[in-house]
Each structure stands twice: as structure tokens, then as C-alpha cells.
Amino acid sequence: MSIEKLAVIGGGAWGTALAQVAATGGRDTLLWALEEDVVSAVNKIHENPVYLKGLKLEKAIRATSRFSDLAEADAWLVVTPAQHMRAVLKRSPCPNMPLILCSKGIEESSGKLLHEVAHEVCPGSPVAVLSGPTFAHEVAAGLPTAVTLACEDRPLGEELRARINLPHFRTYCTDDVAGAEVGGAVKNVLAIACGIAEGRGLGQNARAALIARGFAEMTRFGMAMGGRRETLAGLSGLGDLVLTCSSTSSRNFSLGKAIGEGKNPVELMKDRRTVAEGAHTAPVLDRIAKQRGIDMPLVDAVATLLAGKIEIGKLLETMLSRPPGDEED
């Protein structure tokens, strides 16, 4: 199969950055956006002033708000917020073309990974997952980036990689879809924990410990969900975890930092135009872990705090008083 024209579903920062990658070299790329002001700006001035202000976009990018236009493409990059992906795919024409899922999370209502949701809604479409340590503004600016493309159909994965791989956007293939998805979902929750530590002024040592112990939780959960250890230790797992837990460019880290500084989590999430996926993932991840008997104390702590069931001071006291055990646990 020949994959040339790509459609990107989602006109936020990450969707726009991926459209920039897809359009490099003047290759036709369609960007679907819900917001008419985004569509108009992309088409008229080749910018997305709402989500990536000041960055000139490739002229090969054309924006639309009509789902019917998506049928023109050979494959879709699906970059909608995780909790809205099912609804968006249900509204789309779903013409049995490849779907590359670029969002990170677990569907809150069903507890399903996003590739499972996509298979339910579009059973005739082959599904791949794109994940890894990526800040949208850096990708859009052409700074060096490496990502994982997971696809069970290896020849299709190679074809998709050939279409989006660039010298500054290095794409590594795997067939471990579950492992790639779990890494991207769990790291968002752990980034909130690291942000809380930053907001409370607990220091760099504490953050390093949270990353390391969080990675142990991610690995336990990922392997229980059918992922492989090496995938979780790669770009879509450990790589993304380190990036997301280390910078206020991360929406999840920023949310945690604000909570650590004493702001109300509910009010913070209500005021944000962009989505901190970890806030939606935390409760369902915690629920699945408990159902399966997977020990994830950091995830449980974040979920408990976001649900308003514990104050931050008490939360930190509980976390710090947890009995030490063997590092392999």
C-alpha cells in the first residue's frame, strides 16, 4: 500500500506539530480542527496562533473542520484528547484506512487502552501507536526528536515510518502496541507526582527517586497488560517519563506543580484550555491496578489527591512513611 497524503485529526499543539512533520518537503497534509479560528489561521496565514503562536507552518498544510474531507487521505494521525477519541472516531467516515494513534491515556469510562477503543469503533482499520518523549513546540520547530511507532503489522509499520521519518524526527518501530501505549499513559500520572514534589520544594533528589520508583510501577503495569520490558525501558516508556517529569513544558508536570504550590486541582483543570491527560488517567489506572493486584502506590496517591480524598500534606506524609523494601519490589 502506498501512503502519501496524511490527515491529522486534532488541531492542538501536538496535532499541529505532527502536521508540520508530515508536510515537510511540501507533501500534502490535511489538519482537521474543531476550532474555526484555528482552521482560518492555518489556511490564511500558515500559523496556529491559539496553540503554537509565532511558529510559521508549512504551506502544504491545509486545515478543515469537515469530517468528510478526511476521506481524501491515505492514513490518519489521530491526535484528539484521549477521553474524546471514541466520539471523534464515531463521527468520522472511518473508511478502513490506517489509524496512527498519537494521544496518551486510558479511556476513563471503559478502562480500555486507546488502540482497543479504535478497534471497536473502526474494526476495519489497522491501528498503530506513535509515542515517545515529545514536546510539541520542539517538534514543530524541527529540533531533534526520537519516537516509537508501534504496529502489530510490521510491513505496515515500516510503510508508515517511511512516510513520517525525518533526519530530525527519528522513528523506531516495534510490534509492542500495548507496551508503547502503557508507557505514554502512565508517565502522565507520574509527572503530576513529580510536579507536586517540585511545587512543594522537595528538591531534585526527591524527583529522581519518584522517577525511578514510578518507572518500576510503569513496568509492573505494562507487563501485566501484555507489554514488553524492553519497550517500557525505551523511548515510549522511560524516555517519555524522564522528559515529562522534568519540565513545566509538560502540562501534567505543570498541573502537579500548581497543586504542590497550594492551588485547588478542580479549579486548575477547569481553567485550562489544554488537557492534562494524567488527571483523567489517574483514577482509571488506579482502579485497574487494584483490580489486578498491581502495586502502584504513587499512582494511588495521585488519584486519591485529585479525588479530594486527602490533603497534600497528609499525602506526602503517607508517601514518605511507606515502609522501605527491596528495590526489585
**Dist. CA 190–CA 278, nearest whole Å:** 8
**Dist. CA 29–CA 269, nearest whole Å:** 32
DSSP H helical segments within 55-203, as ranges? 85-91, 114-121, 136-140, 154-164, 177-199
CB 133 within 8 A of CB 234: no
In the chain, what is the greatest distance between 2 CA atoms, to the nearest angstrom?
Answer: 59
For residue 114, CA distances in Å to 5, 139, 279 come to 23, 23, 16
Which of the residues 53, 187, 263, 314 is marked catalytic?
A: 187
Element containing residue 130 per DSSP (H, E): strand 127-131
Name which of 160, 294, 271, 166 is nearest 222 in CA terms.
294
Residues 6+ apart with CB under 8 A from 170: 144, 145, 146, 147
In this structure, the number of other CB atoms found within 10 A of the CB of residue 144 comes to 11
Task: For residue 187, indicate whether it is catalytic.
Answer: yes
**Dist. CA 289–CA 213, nearest whole Å:** 16
Give the bridge partners for 301, in sequence order. none
Residues 6+ apart with CB under 8 A from 272: 251, 255
Element containing residue 56 per DSSP (H, E): none
CB 303 within 8 A of CB 280: no
Which of the residues are catalytic? 187
